[in-house]
């Protein structure tokens, strides 16, 4: 009991230290701020959005930005701002869900490969190589094509395509941790393998995984926007930044605002996750400058 | 040398084997009867029966894989249901367009990325360095289809300098070809330039603090000679390998870029195939891209081996 308590206190101070280091990095804090801004906007979409995001209005077709439509209206007279706010849901959901899929698949498989070694490792490594040989976006397009176009399938496709990165990272971290003294000690004490892997190794490799996960969310947000842009993600009329850009392409001359705001939103959200990931890497690993 | 080459080649065989299983496995994701799905819009029972026989759909899975893989090894990636042409022929038809786009993008990325990387490393912690880092973050965070639309808006719609879309063969009119390709190539090269900049910067920083660079400076060599001849040449070695890994992203980005600028290349082929439910084409394109990617990485490893004398021992 005392040991458990001690461990909890220890990890808590570790977290505090990281947070203190992170807080000093202005770029990372900017990233965190923007991410939180979009998360709040997505959660409060029904109350924040001035209009129904799918309600069309023939009097507002391609209306320029004005006091009644801050970001203008699209080709069917739908309010661009409301669609951006609702679209944040698709983007953030896609980022979180697909990376959760990658972690849920990649971390256990990577641990198996790193911990068991030998033929298990050889087999898993070859499969990982094969998946990495297919460019991320092309694999995601192919998977989404065969699964059928929908936001859920896009998230599955992105999650699977990003899995090999987590397998590789986990495997490498486990290999490094395996030869550390504390693992040797745990083994000498007669701990079972599953306990060594889960209680001793896993907590020590979480830091690089968190960094990778943050950067992977950035990639997943772009990937979801890309798939939606191609028509393989969120299906119309449901709003998504990628599909908004797809329609905007046809009205660049008449209604440039249709293209500017959704693109800017993707850019800001992705940039923020990248800044946050870079900051976390520096904060969690002081050696990395 | 020969040993290394053989070892490296030996790892490719299992990788390609698993790639083929992965791509063959995609078919299994299709809901319902694959013969009906493969037939696409056509529900003609004759077509369905033909496809069932052609793909041996009544046979067990390993047998079907065997038939499929045998065809692939003979260069037969199947036929497009939509265009009634062999997939191999379609790919070879579209390939030159994408090669030109990718080559131009790589040149742009190399020029911008390596220059920015060198400048930011040499002028570390100055405004040059911050500027280059901001550029890299911009490049990594901008969806390239959005950048494409913005460039169209500015250079085609507002200024009218460049065509908004369309493709002209270089054999018809080289000038028009370059005019139609420069924006897409820039869009595609932008993100890759950011990746190269980051790699070049960190490699240069490492090399610049090494002993032989200090010696070169102590000899009184011109700083430009030290940076470009002594440092950069060595810093570029890891950039080659890391750059080759980034080529995969470039191939993925080409799909979006071609879609934005309606360029009839490889990326347009896969997107059209997706919407026509032309699954053999999708599989063929993925298999082909993976093979190209594996080959390019092999070449990069060999180049790394050749330019780095330490590796030979």
**Best residue in A249, A259, A260, A278 to probe B by mutation, most B CBs within 10 Å?**
A249
Q: Would you state the pLDDT for residue B160?
A: 80
What are A81-136's pLDDT values in tens digits?
A: 889 999 999 999 999 999 999 999 999 999 999 888 888 888 898 889 888 888 88
Element (H, E) at A205: helix A202-230
**Best residue in A28, A31, A122, A130 to probe B by mutation, most B CBs within 10 Å?**
A130
Least CB–CB distance from A135: residue in B29, B145, B252:
B252
A145: closest chain B residue by CA: B274
Residue B79: beta bridge partners?
B86
Helices A202-230 and A241-248 sit at what angle, rounded to 10 degrees? 30
Using CA atoms, how far apart are residues B248 and B229, in angstroms rounded to an integer?
30
Least CB–CB distance from A146: residue in B21, B26, B285:
B26
Q: How many residues does chain A have?
A: 289
Phi (first) and psi of residue B258, to 5 degrees: -65, -35
Write down the pTM of the prediction: 0.86
Give A47 or A58, the one with higher predicted confidence: A47
Burial, B42: exposed, middle or buried (Cβ in 10 Å; 0-12, 13-18, 19+)? middle
Q: Kindly tell me if the per-residue pLDDT of A225 is higher than 50.
A: yes
Residue ranges of chain B with per-residue pLDDT less than 50: none
Q: Does A133 touch chain B if contact means CB atoms closer than 8 Å? A: yes
- Which of A92-101, A234-243, A279-288 tops mean pLDDT? A92-101
Q: Give the model's confidence band at A267: pLDDT under 50 very low, under 70 low, under 90 confident, else very high.
A: very high
Q: Kindly tell me if the per-residue pLDDT of A189 is higher than 50.
A: yes
What are A5-20's pLDDT values in tens digits?
A: 445 444 555 677 778 8
Q: Would you state the pLDDT for residue A287?
A: 57
B248: closest chain A residue by CA: A135
Q: Would you state the pLDDT for residue A6?
A: 47
Q: Does A26 touch chain B if contact means CB atoms closer than 8 Å? A: no
Using CA atoms, how far apart are residues B4 and B68, in angstroms rounded to an integer?
32
Percent of chain A that is helix, strand, coil (3-state, to 5):
80, 0, 20
Q: Would you state the pLDDT for residue A13?
A: 57
- Tally A–B CB contacts below 8 A: 138
In percent, how much of chain A has pLDDT > 70? 94
Least CB–CB distance from B252: residue in A138, A147, A256:
A138
Give A186 or B147, the one with higher predicted confidence: B147
CB atoms within 10 A of CB A282: 19
What are A123-179's pLDDT values in tens digits?
A: 898 889 888 888 888 888 888 888 888 899 899 999 999 999 999 999 988 888 888
């Amino acid at each position: 009991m005392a040991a458990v308590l001690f461990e909890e206190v220890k990890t808590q101070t570790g977290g505090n230290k990281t947070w203190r280091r992170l807080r000093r990095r202005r770029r990372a804090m900017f990233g965190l701020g923007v991410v939180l801004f979009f998360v709040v906007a997505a959660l409060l979409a029904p109350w924040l959005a001035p209009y129904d995001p799918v309600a069309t209005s023939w009097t507002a077709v391609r209306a320029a930005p004005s006091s009644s439509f801050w970001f203008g209206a699209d080709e069917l007279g739908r309010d661009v701002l409301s669609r951006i706010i609702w679209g944040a849901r698709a983007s953030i959901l896609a980022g979180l869900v697909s990376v959760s899929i990658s972690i849920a698949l990649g971390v256990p498989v990577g641990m198996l490969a790193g911990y068991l070694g030998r033929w298990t490792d050889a087999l898993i490594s070859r499969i990982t190589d094969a998946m990495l040989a297919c460019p991320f976006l092309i694999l995601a397009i192919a998977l989404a094509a065969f699964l059928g176009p929908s936001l859920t399938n896009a998230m599955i496709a992105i999650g699977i395509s990003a899995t090999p990165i987590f397998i590789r990272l986990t495997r490498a971290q486990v290999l490094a941790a395996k030869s550390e003294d504390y693992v040797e000690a745990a083994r000498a004490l007669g701990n079972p393998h599953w306990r060594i892997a889960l209680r001793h190794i896993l907590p020590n490799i979480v830091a690089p995984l968190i960094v990778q996960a943050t950067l992977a969310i950035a990639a997943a947000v772009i990937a979801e926007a890309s798939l939606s842009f191609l028509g393989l993600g969120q299906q119309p009329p449901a709003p998504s930044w990628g599909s908004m850009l797809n329609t905007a392409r046809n009205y660049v001359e008449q209604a440039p605002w249709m293209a500017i705001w959704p693109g800017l939103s993707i850019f800001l959200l992705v940039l923020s996750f990248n800044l946050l990931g870079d900051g976390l890497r520096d904060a969690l690993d002081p050696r990395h400058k | 040398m020969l040993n290394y080459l053989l070892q490296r080649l030996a790892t490719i065989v299992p990788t390609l084997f698993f790639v083929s299983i992965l791509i063959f496995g995609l078919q299994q994701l299709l809901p319902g009867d694959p013969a009906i799905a493969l037939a696409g819009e056509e529900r003609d029972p004759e077509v369905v029966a033909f496809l069932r026989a052609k793909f041996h759909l009544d046979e067990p899975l390993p047998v079907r894989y065997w038939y499929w893989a045998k065809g692939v090894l003979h260069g037969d990636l199947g036929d497009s249901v939509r265009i009634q042409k062999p997939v191999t022929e379609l790919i070879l038809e579209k390939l030159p367009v994408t090669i030109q786009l990718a080559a131009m993008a790589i040149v742009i990325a190399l020029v911008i990325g390596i220059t920015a990387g060198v400048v930011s490393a040499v002028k570390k912690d100055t405004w040059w360095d911050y500027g280059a880092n901001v550029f890299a973050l911009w490049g990594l965070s901008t969806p390239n289809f959005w950048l494409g639309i913005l460039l169209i808006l500015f250079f085609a719609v507002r200024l009218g300098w460049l065509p908004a879309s369309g493709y002209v063969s270089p054999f018809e009119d080289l000038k028009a070809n370059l005019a139609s390709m420069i924006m897409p190539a820039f869009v595609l090269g932008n993100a890759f330039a950011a990746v190269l900049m980051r790699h070049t910067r960190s490699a240069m920083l490492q090399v610049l603090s090494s002993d032989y660079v200090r010696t070169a400076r102590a000899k009184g060599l011109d700083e430009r000679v030290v940076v470009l001849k002594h440092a950069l040449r060595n810093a570029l070695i890891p950039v080659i390998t890391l750059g080759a890994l980034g080529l995969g992203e470039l191939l993925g980005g080409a799909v979006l870029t071609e879609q934005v600028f309606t360029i009839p290349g490889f990326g347009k082929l896969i997107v059209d195939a997706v919407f026509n439910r032309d699954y053999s084409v999708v599989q063929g394109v993925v298999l082909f891209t993976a093979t190209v990617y594996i080959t390019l990485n092999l070449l990069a490893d060999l180049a790394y081996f050749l330019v780095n004398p330490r590796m030979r021992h």
